Every structure is written in structure tokens, then in C-alpha cells.
Amino acid sequence: MSKSPDRLVILTGAGISAESGLPTFRGADGLWEGHRVEDVASPVAFARDPELVHRFYNLRRAALRTVEPNAAHLALARLEAAWRGSFLLVTQNVDDLHDRAGSRRLLHMHGELIRARCKACRHGWEWRDDLSPDSICPSCGKSGRVRPDIVWFGEEPLHLGEIFDALSRASLFIAIGTSGHVYPAAGFVDVARGAGARAIEINLADTAASAAFDERRTGPATDLVPALVEELLAAQSVG
């Protein structure tokens, strides 16, 4: 790497958590843990069958208690702590593995499993237990209106203003373990490159977005992310 790139934006997807034991979304069968996405991750599905949707997310939330951050999550936290320029980590993941690894400049654009939200009064709060149609909002006291604080298909992702602002000033953009199918995240690479950033993709395989990147590194995130972090920190110390 010739000069130390100092304005860094990193996007992660389900692939970074796969080696921790959380299945990705688009497996070979196109299902998320046996479900069609539209049956569990949309406002329509929740209105039709709240029991099913709560059960699905209760299982995902419980699974968090059985997994740990892996070497890739830990490397990104180390990078953030040592990076002298601006830094933003944007994740599509709803798990809490980046948080537990120590990442702080972190935006969960698709929400978080460990939070709940009230559809009646919009109050949001941290919640690590099961939810059900009987769950009561601690703010307005209503039941039947509490939902997982997850951005479902057809809903607008969170923090887009802050994310596009960082992308439009980025000098290096890195996408890790994301399939490049879910917009607007799949278009972040174009925004960053339009602003003059160099773009690196890390994935097990080529993706729908691969052609937009300057450089592709193919292999497991737990190998390739720590290696890239070491390179970036070494370039920074001589830069």
C-alpha cells in the first residue's frame, strides 16, 4: 500500500460472523435457518403471524449466548483502537459480536437482536430475553405492540445520513462477508469510489458487487481480516 489511507469506512455482513457459528442468510437453499425471509423478516409477516416472528427472533437472540466474537471481529476492534484517522464500522448484522469484540465507532444499520421497540410509542430499549405478543412496553404500558428492533425488508435502514456522509469522505472502503444483494448497502462501494476511495472486498467467493472493487481477497474472514489489519497498521506506522 503506497500511502496510508486515513479515512476508513468498513462494511460487514453475515459472513464475518459465520465462523463464530451464526449461519449466513443466503445459504445454498436460499433460506434463513429454514425460513423464507419474507415469512419472518417483514412487517407483513409480523402482522400476519406475530408468534412465528417472535419465535424466530427469540431463537436468534438465544443463539447469541452460545457464540463468541472471532478473530475477524477482534482485529477490527484492534484496528479502530490504533487507527489515527477517522474510522467508521457499519454492520448489516443484527448480532452483537462487534460490540462484544470492543468496536465503538459502530453503526448497526439493520437494527439489533438485543433491542426491542414499541410500535405504539416508538420507545426502544435493550432487551436480551424472549419477546411475545404479550410483552409490555416499559414506556407506554401497552401490550401487543412490542417488536424486535430489526430493520425488516421494505423498511428503511438506520443511520443512513451518517453513513453516506462518511462514505462521501472515505479514502479506503472495505466490505467483509457481505453478498452485495441487499441495498442500499450493496451500493456503498460505488459511493465511496465516487468520492475517490480505494475499495477492498473480503469474501469466501466472488459476489454480485465484486466487479466494483479495486481489490478482492478471497478466503475466510478469520484469516484475511487480521492479515489486512496488520498491513494497514504497518502502513500507518511508516506513513
Residues that bind Zn ion (CB under 5 A): 118, 120-121, 123, 137, 139-140
| Amino acid of residue 193 | R
Among 56, 220, 229, 232, binds ligand NAD (CB under 6 A): 220
CB 131 within 8 A of CB 57: yes
Kind of pairing between the strands at 111-118 and 124-126:
antiparallel
Q: Which is nearer to Zn ion, 55 or 145 (CB)?
A: 145
- Contact segment (CB under 6 A) with ligand NAD among 14-22, 76-84, 126-134, 137-145 equals 14-22
Give the number of other Cβ atoms within 10 Å of residue 96's Cβ.
Answer: 19
- Contact segment (CB under 6 A) with ligand NAD among 46-54, 92-100, 119-127, 139-147 equals 92-100
Cell matching residue 73: 471481529
- Contact segment (CB under 6 A) with ligand NAD among 48-56, 86-94, 130-138, 209-217 equals 86-94
Phi, psi of 96 (to 5 degrees): -110, 25
* Contact between 18 and ligand NAD per CB under 6 A: yes
Residues in Cβ contact with 58 at an 8 Å cutoff, skipping those fewer than 6 apart: 130, 131
Residue 73 falls in the annotated catalytic set? no
Closest CA to 75 of 205, 231, 239: 231
* Contact between 199 and ligand NAD per CB under 6 A: no
Q: Out of 54, 98, 108, 110, which one is annotated catalytic? A: 110
Q: Which residues pair with 116 in a beta bridge?
A: 125, 148
Residues that bind ligand NAD (CB under 6 A): 13-15, 17-19, 22, 24-26, 32, 92-95, 110, 177-179, 181-182, 203-205, 207, 220-221
* Residue positions annotated with a catalytic role: 110
